[in-house]
Amino acid sequence: MEGIVQYGISIDPLTGLLCGARQVLSAHCDSRPPGMVPELIVVHGISLPPGEFGGPWIERLFTGDLDAGAHPFFQSVADLRVSSHLLVRRDGEPVQFVPFGLRAWHAGASSWQSRSACNDFSVGIELEGTDEAPYEDRQYEALAALIRALCAAYPTLSGARVVGHSEIAPGRKSDPGPAFDWPRLRKLLR
């Protein structure tokens, strides 16, 4: 698959797929409303079970295959229909769930600069982590490379606003949390 290569990452803007990434496609997505294109990148943090890293649980949640009996916490989230465009694992591995041209169900009730329904015009990137635990060096490097590649592949993201889930759903969401180093990400994007 040929695509736009930026910082070693290639995105095919026609299919919306990240070349070379593991694809675990989710049905928890749909078409963006007519005329809507990605204009915002939303950074999230997730761990399942909370505070634990690794394992198949995030992928199973995003594909609707999370066994509610596998852990007590899963009973509260197993029926959610959520996804994200990408997950960046602790080791920096990107996993894609939704092509970038489609609407992933990552933001929920949200608003940015007086525009509601951020899923309509955003790309969601989950980082495997928690609000309190430091994110890994490889995650910052991968995130910066992904943002650069997205901006190269989708002109509407050039100079993109990159925000945390907490900024578009204040009071409801806190991720990626105080452990996320925004100045570090900005420095990597310069």
- Whose structure tokens read 């969401």? 173
Beta strands in 73-160 (DSSP E): 86-88, 94-96, 102-104, 111-112, 115-116, 122-128
Task: Please indicate whether residue 126 is annotated as part of the active site.
Answer: yes
DSSP letter, residue 132: S
- Residue among 39, 52, 93, 126 flagged as catalytic: 126
Which residues touch 151 (CB under 8 Å, ≥6 apart)? Answer: 6, 157, 158, 159, 160
> In degrees rounded to 5, what are phi and psi of residue 120?
-60, -35
Active site residues per annotation: 126
